[in-house]
A and B are shown apart, each in its own frame.
Chain A
């Protein structure tokens, strides 16, 4: 009995160690490029290789923390992505309501189109969008770029919002309707408060996606004082021959920070990102 038991336990222990080892090897491969960012940002003489800062210094941050280099692009990014996110979430909530509550003939084709559009390679339509923006004078404007960025985020945010809204039972609204509330009142005072966690997930997810977007503002904006951080990091470091790598690392770190922090909020809210994976499963 005891020998059977020990054989049964020792094999899982060994295989668990092997699994852990394999996982750690993969993680090591993934972490090296990230280490360059973390260590290089605090190293005034950072090169291309990962080296331990000696001494640790904030000099790189001091050098880039100027209005033109960091603050303005960050503010522009906040305006663009914040505006785009608000617009996308607003339109998604409205659109999700009939999709979640009513049955109508166009519903299935509409949902399929939305699902399909989530995978649309946006890169492919940037050329005609540029042409269109030139003709209607929206090129190089923050408002035009916000409109387009919101639209690129719409398919996935409608899809997610509808799924979250489906989780709110309709009986509560029906009770409110009998009390004389209108449909929109029911949406605002009953559905939205109940799906608040889901809605914050959609908001954060949309913002992170837009914050990392390079190509859209790169094509649609050209004036230096309107560029968001995603593009200005490229124009600032891509155009000069001699790159100060420590400053590049510091800038990358500052620019990535909002996305990372928001992701942490998101994963806490979802209890791990796994529910998000579930939402994409289709």
Chain B
């Protein structure tokens, strides 16, 4: 490339070379702009209109009406709470902590136990989300395995999907997503030098003390990155909840993605639906900023 270039590269030649070098980015950039950036901008625009499902024709600019409508509606506030409960319960607490515990235990388990456990946990992760939804509907159903098991302990059976729907879908999401955190944490832990942990033990630190003040601080960056990724993944879960409860009963497991879907597609309020989607994007952005902030603080402290 540099061989065939003319001997005196002027500004124009440099520009041409730069464009030529950037050319392979073309297809990816076009796709990303048209199908990702475009819809996001369109989302921002139509959130301020009263657009119906039939399209932009006859849509009027309505300012902040959609957002006003959302924040004064009980159903929206309820679904906002369910979204946060679902995300914090299943991702930040469930997947994150269980994934960490598994990754830590894996380090000192017997080889065949490790292989078996990771095969099962990863198996749950590889299952398509609709299948995971059905598996958990069956597991938690009236005559499902959980009730059978509790029956053996003479605990009365329950319709888990009706009595505690948000807890049920959160549990299913923990089951499905824990493998991701486990893999990320296993990779991070494998890079912690053995000598540092050993010297902490020599200095008389107990297992938990060593974990808390030596091991975990060393993989802080991985923890923050993982938290960000699983939070964003969990915020946009749709298929799992849809197959398990469809957001019911009486909207008691209706997170924002389901609420937005219902408003936009089933009630044909595209403008309102996109406003709700925008709120979801904003929540994702807030979570990301918090995590990124934590990462940056860390760099400064170093």
Give the B-binding residues of A (Cβ under 8 A): 15-16, 19-20, 22-24, 26-27, 30-34, 36-37, 40, 47-50, 87, 90-92, 94-95, 97-99, 102, 104, 110, 116-132, 134-135, 147-148, 150-152, 154-155, 158, 177-178, 180, 182-183, 208, 211-212, 214-215, 218-219, 230, 233-234, 237-238, 245, 248, 252, 255-256, 259-260, 263, 267, 273-278, 280-282
Contacts and interface: CB of A to CB of B under 8 A. Distances in A.
Interface string B127-153: 111111011101101111101100000
Given A34-B120, A121-B232, A16 B108 contact: yes
Contact of B139 (A32, A177, A273): A32
A281 B225 contact: yes
Contacts of B239: 214-215, 218, 230
Contacts of A218: 239
Contact of A36 (B130, B139, B228, B236): B139
Contact of A33 (B36, B136, B186, B260): B136
B134 to A, nearest CB: 6
> Chain B contact residues (Cβ within 8 angstroms of A): what range?
35 or more
B1 A183 contact: yes
Contacts of B113: 20, 23-24
Contact of A245 (B39, B51, B138, B261): B138
B90 interface: no
B124 A256 contact: no
Interface in B135-179: 135-136, 138-139, 141-145, 147-148, 175
B31 interface: yes
Interface SS of chain B:
helix
Q: Which 9 residue pairs are nearest across A and B when measured between Cβ atoms?
A: A121-B236, A214-B239, A277-B187, A212-B128, A95-B28, A277-B183, A119-B232, A123-B236, A151-B35
Contacts of B55: 131, 134-135
Q: Which of B2, B35, B116 has the most CB of A within 10 A?
A: B35
A257 to B, nearest CB: 10
B277 A129 contact: no
Nearest to A264: B126
B98 interface: yes
Given A37-B131, A151-B36, A214-B130, 19 more contacts: A19-B108, A32-B145, A33-B124, A48-B145, A94-B24, A99-B25, A104-B21, A120-B232, A123-B235, A123-B280, A124-B260, A127-B277, A218-B239, A233-B134, A234-B242, A259-B127, A274-B187, A280-B226, A281-B184
